[in-house]
Structure formats: structure tokens, C-alpha cells
A and B are shown apart, each in its own frame.
Chain A
Amino acid sequence: MNEARTILIRYDEIGLKGRNRRFFENCLLENIRQAFQGIHGIRFRMPRGRVMIDTSASHAEECARRLHFVPGVASFSVGFPMQPDFDALAALGVQLIEPHLKEGGELKFCVRTQRTDKGFYKTSQEVNFEVGSRIMGALASKGLTVNINEAEFVLEIEISHKECVVFDNRVAGIRGLPVGSSGSVLSLLSGGIDSPVSSFLMMRRGCKVDYIFFDNQTFLGRGGYDKVLRLSRSLNRYQTGGNVYVVPFQDMQVAIRDHCSSENRVVLYRRMMYRIALAVAEKHKYLGLVTGESLGQVASQTLENLAAVSCVVPISVFRPLIGMDKQEIITHARKIGTYEISIEPQPDCCSIFMPPRPATKSRIEKLERDENKFPWQELMQAAIETMEVIEPESATQVETR
């Protein structure tokens, strides 16, 4: 086997797109390029319906590892580029199959060929036969049998007009759409299990996600802030450069706690968070807010309370977890690698901020009456003015507002 490898990337959902397909493809290609930064000697190609990457055996493994983090990739295979010569193809096939054969055992196999160049002088079926029969000639005595429907080993051959690629693996990607193809959203990140999952799910639908965190260091210390930066670094593996807006929220929380009816506190905090997020979204042209709410999970996530917070912001609020139960959310969180960070203990709204009995059905008139009891507009302005934008990778401020 020589050193050259070709990685073949499939993206089935983009393939369904009509006239703007080119846009999605370019977006995916750009994201893969970004993901491969620092790996040298790579060549990208884009024959119809595929992204092909030429690299070497030594880099292929790292490329494959990084492809697991690129939304839009449906599956990929690391294969061997070669001339479409049946003897050479069969010899490579024998080399790949042999280690799987067990003494005295049987191995079912088949060859599957796909031609992107229909001008090739043999049909796919004929190629299957030519290569398959040569491999059987060499390995039939060692227990290899042909079985097209129940093959345990599939040797795949893709033939284009100049060359062909042989591979024996298909690795599932995370599917979805390439990040950036759907525009930008602002995700309310808390440090819990849910909001990182909802951020990820929006990335997988093609959104570039920036994060907004409501911080209360005066009362709770820096632990929550550090955790949110770690979560956003972890999430940024699936995109490039999501930043975190850090909003000092202690004065607002104290004011609500001291002036408003205790059962409404949580919804009032959330209404203010939504309003501040909206102000940021309008200024920076985000097309929606994202939250980790799941219907009925806690008191603030009843239909009534969701309505009572949504109605303060004239912008789309996306809640990708709305129909999931906690277990499903945890399964996602484990899969994307944020769960271990989320479950680290963190001082959350300690007993002074959480009401003993939060209302499950807030009435909007009552909330508005509460909001007349403290100068929320001024507090909101002050919070936005002292907000910082942090790049999570370097934990440094990007710009001041």
C-alpha cells in the first residue's frame, strides 16, 4: 500500500438542495478547510456530490478525527487513490481482506462499484465481477465467500473519469447543514446541561452560534463564568469563533428580588435576560435567540411562562429541546462532549435569588405591575454598557461596548 490517501466526504442533505446548492457546498468546503487548519499538504476537490481530499496516510487519521466535528458531513471514507486497473484493485482488495479472515472460519464479502464517470468502458456490475472474481481466486481457499446482501466486508470502488478510489469503511458524520449556511443566532448559555445541547442543535441546522451569559460574580463567584467559557470552547469545536457576551446581571437580580413578588422572580429574571439578548441581537443582526427550554421541565418552562417571556421580544426564539425529555437531552450532551463540563458543581442562583414557590402560571398584568416597581430600563442600559465580549479560546475580551 502506498502513502497516498483520499478522503471522500458525502453530504446527503445538501445534495437535495436546488439552485442554491453551490452555496451550501462552498460553505461546507470552507468549514472543512477551517477545521483542517494546521494540517499541511492537503488538496481539496469537489466533483459533483462529493468533497474529495487528497492527503497522506500520516495525516489521514487526524483529518478523519476532525471531520467528526463538521456539521454537514453525512459520512466519510478514507480510501486509496489508484488507477482503475483490475489486477491492482484486486491485489489491494486481497491485502485489505486478508487480516479479517480467521482460520477455519467464513467471511462474506462483496464488491460495490459506483461510477461518477459513466464513460468508463465497463459497467459497475462488470467491475464488481472483474475485481471480485480475482479476489475470490486468491482467497476462496481461506474461507472467503461472496454474499451481496449480508456482506461482512464491503470493498467499495468509486470510479471517476481520471482515477478511482478504493475504500473499506464508511464513518458516520454528524449530518445536518454546514455552519454559516443558515445565518447567525444568539444562544443563552447558562452552564447547565440543556443550553449547550440546544446551541449544538442549531449549529447542526447551519447556524453560526454566539453565546450570551448572564453573570453574577458578586454573589456567586467566577465559577459560572469559567464554566461557560469551557462549554463554549467545547461547542466551538463544531464551528469557528463563537464568542460569549458576558452580561453583569447582579444588580438586576438584586432589584427584582428586593422589589417584586417572590413567586414571579424567575420569570422576571428571564424577561430581562430576553430583553438584553434582544438588544444585543438587534445591534449585531442575529436572526434569533436560542434557549435550552424543554416544556414543563421546571416551573419557568410551562406554556404560560414561556409565553410570558417570549412576548417581551419581537424576534424568533428557537427552543430545539422543547419536546425532549431530560434523558434525551443528556444523551445528546454526552455525545457532543459537554455533559462532563455541565455536571461540574457550580453555585447557581443561591437561595436568596430563588423563590420558595415560583409561579407556574404567571399572569402578564402582574408581571408588568412588578416591572413598574424598579427601574429596569436603567439597569438594563447599565448592564449592556458594562457587558464584555469574550473570545473563549483565549479568554480575552474581543471588544468593549
Chain B
Amino acid sequence: MIYLDNAATTPMDPRVTETVEQSMRRDFANSGTVYRIGLDAKQRIEKAAEEIAEALRLPSTHRLIFTSGGSESNNLFIKGLCFPDKKTAYLGLEHPSVLATLNYFGIFGNEPVRLLEFQRQGRMSLEAVAFLKKERVRLLCLSHVNNELGTVNDPEPLIAALRKESAKTRIFLDGVQAIGKLSLSPEVWPGLAGYSISAHKIHGPKGIGLLAYDSRLSLTPQIHGGKQQCGVRSGTLPVPLILGLAKTIQLAVEEVGETQTHLKKLNRHLIQGLKSLEDSQSDLNIRFNSLTEEDASRQSPAIVNFSFPPVEGEVLLHHLEEKEIYVGLGSACSAHSKEPSKILTGIGLTEEEARCSLRVSFSRQNTLEEVDIFLQEFSRAYQSLYPTFCKKPAGK
């Protein structure tokens, strides 16, 4: 099997599996109880939180909240801070857990500001900042790394521009696709109101994620109950998953340099391979939807998104599946709807170009040989499907 859909989820790192398994056998006690084994569980969680804060080089102003994953972190921060009437803005290329949360505000008459006119190659242009001030936006929500394109909204220049021109606009970044692929400079934290992380995108377990946010902000809880985690997010804490998350983040941060070098190698190999396929096959025209440059402050090396009309991406995906090669169509959530990806049409693709696209996403576990096999099978599948698609619509 060749797994190239790591933006959807990743296989677990055996080192993390071991941590989780060991804790599952050992740490059953409720960390909210007052007897020893409960206190032991609580200590383990505190230690994990410290390890995470250290790995992320989080300043003391920022607090960690454990959640069930990226979607919950995004919901908790955006709703908790802005619901129902604070003005929000977004680019229009975010993950559904950000888009749908903001659109939910619209039901209450608080339409979020969409900045799609300021998108350039899948990233937000800094020209938007003046507009944010004019619209009196309180929270700007962006993907750190776009989940379908891999394009990067670099927080450093953005924070600097906001400080200068629209000081009342805070920024929230969905960092689910960024961590482990890009290094986050500790200087950006003071400028980040909130940041979300999910374990399963970086070889950790599913069902656990993180919200790191500026604790001077007050978040309205979205889950009420036993007042765990300072009352911000109630619910008995899953000790094994939290220890797994800590291990995952530690490994991701420790190995980020190595990982990035490796991902860049894979990325370059794939892009070059696709370009030479295009040169050798007259009927293959590839359009790269992600950026083909190696500057990690603009494009994550983990994701390559490209279109190849007239062959439909989903059909090609199933042909690759028969060879046990797994690639992505875009976000799994939008893979459920028949509409073409809003992210791709958002950056200016036609519906056909959007439908005729694939997302290849790497992890540190992929190899150059796997990219070669992918290229070979992609080319084979494309050639066999091309005649079926090119004469559409068939005449009499």
C-alpha cells in the first residue's frame, strides 16, 4: 500500500502507540478525583501539558485546552470568543469547521466578513488589513496551512501588519495542517489569540486535539459540565490520549527540520515527475493548484494539489485505489458533497478543473520510490481514462 493522503489523517507513530497503550493499561483513574490514583492521573496530565507548552515554546500568557480534535478547537475558540455579535472575518478558503462555524453566526444576523477578493494564490494578501480595520473586525480566522492546497498564511508579517494598521483585530489560526511541517517561531505567540492542533494529522491518535489561546481572553464554554480545564471545556480528561498527544507533538517539533527536508525532496520529485509526464504525453495538461515553490513560508511541502482535465479526479482516485495507492480529493468533509471543492473554485478554478483534481499529501513516512510508483500508475490510469473523458459529450 502507498498512502499519500496524509492531510486526511496519518498512520500512528509506533512510539506514540506505545505511550498510549501503556497509559491505557495503567491510567484508568479519573483525574478529577482526590485520592492517590486520581491525583497520579492528574499529575500525568499536568506533565504532558508542560511538555507540550515547552515543545511549542508557548509563553505563560497562553493556556492549553484539550479537545476532541481540530474541529472542536476551532468551534470552541471562535464561538467561545465571538458568539453571538462580535465581528469576524475569514478568507473563504478555510476548513469547513471554521467556515460552518462562522456561517452559523449569520443565522443570528452577524454575517462574517469574507475576504476572498484579497486571496492571492490561496493566501491572504496583506492589503486586506486596512479593510479589516474599516469593517471593525474583532477576530480574523485563517488556516495556517490550507488543507487542500498547502498554501501558507505566514503569521509573522500578518501579525506585524495588524499591530500597525488594525490593532483591535485579533488573529486565530487553524494550525492543524501546519504543525510538524512548519516550525512555529516563539515570537508569533504573543500575536496569536488562538491556535488549534490535532494529533491524528501528525501520527497521533484520533479523538484528541488542542486549543492554545491567550488566557487573558475569556471564552464562553461550549460544553458545560464538571468544570474541568478551568470550566472552559468540561468532560473527564482522556489521560492516554493526552499523553499520546504530548508525545506526538514532541516528536513532530523535534523532527520538524528533518521532516521538512524530506517532504521537500518528495514534493520536488513529484512536481518534476508530473512535469516530465506532461512533456511526454501530449494529451496531459497539468495545472498546479498548490504553489510549486520551495519557500516554506508560502507553501507547505506536504501537499501537492493539481488538476488534469478532462479526467475526473474521483474516477482517477478509484483507479489508483485498485493499485493500492491512496490519494485525496480534498477535505474529507467536502468529499461528501457532490459540489466541486469550494477552495479550488475559490482560487479561480472552473468547476471542471476543480473536479479534475487530486491532492497528494506526504508524511515523513513516504519515500521517493513511492512517488515513482505513483507517477507511473497515475500516468497509466490517465492514459486509460483519457479516451472516455475526452469525447464528452458523446454524439450519436
B314-A218 in contact (CB<8A): no
B317-A262 in contact (CB<8A): no
For B313-341 the 0/1 string (1 means CB < 8 A from A) is 01101110110000000000000111000
For B111-147 the 0/1 string (1 means CB < 8 A from A) is 0000000000000000000000000000000000000
Q: Which of A260, A261, A352 contacts B312 (CB 8 A)?
A: A352
Report the count of interface residues on B (CB-CB < 8 A): 21
Stretch binding the partner chain, chosen from A46-54, A161-169, A343-351: A343-351
Query: Chain B contact residues: over half helix, strand or loop, or mixed?
Result: helix
For A334-366 the 0/1 string (1 means CB < 8 A from B) is 000000000001010011100110000000000
A254-B338 in contact (CB<8A): no
Q: Which of B321, B337, B393 contacts A221 (CB 8 A)?
A: B321
How far is A258 from B396 in the complex, measured between Cα atoms in Å? 10
Could you say which residues of chain A place their CB within 8 Å of the CB of B337? 345
Closest Cβ–Cβ distance, residue B8 to chain A (whole Å): 15
Interface: B394 (CB within 8 A): yes
Interface: A219 (CB within 8 A): yes
Could you say which residues of chain A place their CB within 8 Å of the CB of B28? none
Q: Which of B318, B322, B336, B389 contacts A352 (CB 8 A)?
A: B389
How far is A238 from B70 in the complex, measured between Cα atoms in Å? 42
Contacts A345-B338, A352-B388, A352-B389 hold; do A257 and B394 have CB atoms under 8 A apart?
A: yes
Closest Cβ–Cβ distance, residue A165 to chain B (whole Å): 49
A262-B312 in contact (CB<8A): no
Could you say which residues of chain A place their CB within 8 Å of the CB of B338? 345
For A23-41 the 0/1 string (1 means CB < 8 A from B) is 0000000000000000000
Could you say which residues of chain A place their CB within 8 Å of the CB of B395? 261-262
Contacts A219-B315, A220-B318, A350-B315 hold; do A258 and B393 have CB atoms under 8 A apart?
A: no
How many residue-residue contacts, CB under 8 A, span A and B? 48
Interface: B216 (CB within 8 A): no
Q: Which of B318, B355, B387 contacts A219 (CB 8 A)?
A: B318
Interface: B392 (CB within 8 A): yes
How far is A258 from B317 in the complex, measured between Cα atoms in Å? 21
Could you say which residues of chain B place their CB within 8 Å of the CB of A351? 312, 355, 392
Interface: A95 (CB within 8 A): no
Closest Cβ–Cβ distance, residue A85 to chain B (whole Å): 56
B388-A262 in contact (CB<8A): no
The residues in B between 354 and 396 inclusive whose CB is less than 8 angstroms from any CB of A are 355, 387-389, 391-396
How far is A355 from B393 in the complex, measured between Cα atoms in Å? 7
B322-A350 in contact (CB<8A): no
Q: Which of A218, A262, A347, A350 contacts B319 (CB 8 A)?
A: A218
How far is A350 from B313 in the complex, measured between Cα atoms in Å? 11
A258-B312 in contact (CB<8A): no
How far is A356 from B355 in the complex, measured between Cα atoms in Å? 17
Residue in B closest to A366 when the chains form the complex, CB atoms:
B396
Closest Cβ–Cβ distance, residue B164 to chain A (whole Å): 46
How far is A291 from B258 in the complex, measured between Cα atoms in Å? 59
How far is A347 from B393 in the complex, measured between Cα atoms in Å? 20
A347-B314 in contact (CB<8A): yes
How far is A260 from B394 in the complex, measured between Cα atoms in Å? 8
For B190-214 the 0/1 string (1 means CB < 8 A from A) is 0000000000000000000000000
- On chain A, which size bracket covers the interface? 10 to 19
Q: Which of B312, B336, B391, B396 contacts A350 (CB 8 A)?
A: B312
Query: Chain A contact residues: over half helix, strand or loop, or mixed?
Result: loop
Contacts A355-B393, A356-B393 hold; do A218 and B336 have CB atoms under 8 A apart?
A: no
B312-A217 in contact (CB<8A): no
Q: Which of B315, B317, B388, B396 contacts A257 (CB 8 A)?
A: B388
Closest Cβ–Cβ distance, residue A220 to chain B (whole Å): 6
Of A220, A221, A355, most buried by chain B (CB within 10 Å of CB) is A221
How far is A356 from B389 in the complex, measured between Cα atoms in Å? 14
Contacts A257-B394, A261-B396, A345-B337 hold; do A218 and B318 have CB atoms under 8 A apart?
A: yes
B396-A262 in contact (CB<8A): yes
Closest Cβ–Cβ distance, residue B324 to chain A (whole Å): 13
How far is A356 from B395 in the complex, measured between Cα atoms in Å? 11
Closest Cβ–Cβ distance, residue B89 to chain A (whole Å): 31
For A260-282 the 0/1 string (1 means CB < 8 A from B) is 11100000000000000000000
A218-B394 in contact (CB<8A): no
Closest Cβ–Cβ distance, residue A68 to chain B (whole Å): 32
Residue in A closest to B319 when the chains form the complex, CB atoms:
A218
B318-A262 in contact (CB<8A): no
Could you say which residues of chain B place their CB within 8 Å of the CB of A352? 312, 315, 388-389, 392
B396-A254 in contact (CB<8A): no
Closest Cβ–Cβ distance, residue B73 to chain A (whole Å): 26
B319-A221 in contact (CB<8A): no
Q: Which of A217, A254, A257, A260 contacts B318 (CB 8 A)?
A: A217
How far is A173 from B337 in the complex, measured between Cα atoms in Å? 38
How far is A257 from B387 in the complex, measured between Cα atoms in Å? 11
B315-A258 in contact (CB<8A): no
The residues in B between 290 and 322 inclusive whose CB is less than 8 angstroms from any CB of A are 312, 314-315, 317-319, 321-322
Residue in B closest to A355 when the chains form the complex, CB atoms:
B393
How far is A351 from B339 in the complex, measured between Cα atoms in Å? 12
Residue in B closest to A370 when the chains form the complex, CB atoms:
B396
How far is A26 from B34 in the complex, measured between Cα atoms in Å? 64
For A219-260 the 0/1 string (1 means CB < 8 A from B) is 111000000000000000000000000000000001001101
Residue in B closest to A254 when the chains form the complex, CB atoms:
B388
A262-B394 in contact (CB<8A): yes
Could you say which residues of chain B place their CB within 8 Å of the CB of A218? 318-319, 322
Closest Cβ–Cβ distance, residue B382 to chain A (whole Å): 14
Q: Which of B336, B392, B396 contacts A345 (CB 8 A)?
A: B336
Closest Cβ–Cβ distance, residue A134 to chain B (whole Å): 54
Could you say which residues of chain A place their CB within 8 Å of the CB of B391? 258
Residue in A closest to B321 when the chains form the complex, CB atoms:
A221
The residues in B between 45 and 73 inclusive whose CB is less than 8 angstroms from any CB of A are none
Could you say which residues of chain A place their CB within 8 Å of the CB of B389? 352
Closest Cβ–Cβ distance, residue A224 to chain B (whole Å): 11
Closest Cβ–Cβ distance, residue A345 to chain B (whole Å): 5
Closest Cβ–Cβ distance, residue B390 to chain A (whole Å): 11
A221-B312 in contact (CB<8A): no
Residue in B closest to A356 when the chains form the complex, CB atoms:
B393
How far is A254 from B387 in the complex, measured between Cα atoms in Å? 11
Closest Cβ–Cβ distance, residue B95 to chain A (whole Å): 19
Could you say which residues of chain A place their CB within 8 Å of the CB of B394? 257-258, 260-262, 355
Could you say which residues of chain A place their CB within 8 Å of the CB of B388? 254, 257-258, 352
Could you say which residues of chain B place their CB within 8 Å of the CB of A345? 336-338
**Apart from A262-B395, A356-B393: 8 A-B pairs, beta carbons within 8 A:** A217-B322, A220-B314, A261-B394, A262-B394, A350-B314, A351-B355, A352-B315, A355-B394
10 contacts between A and B (CB under 8 A): A218-B319, A220-B314, A221-B321, A258-B391, A262-B393, A262-B394, A345-B338, A350-B314, A352-B315, A355-B393
A-B pairs, top 7 by smallest CB distance, nearest first, are: A261-B396, A262-B394, A221-B318, A219-B315, A345-B336, A356-B393, A262-B393
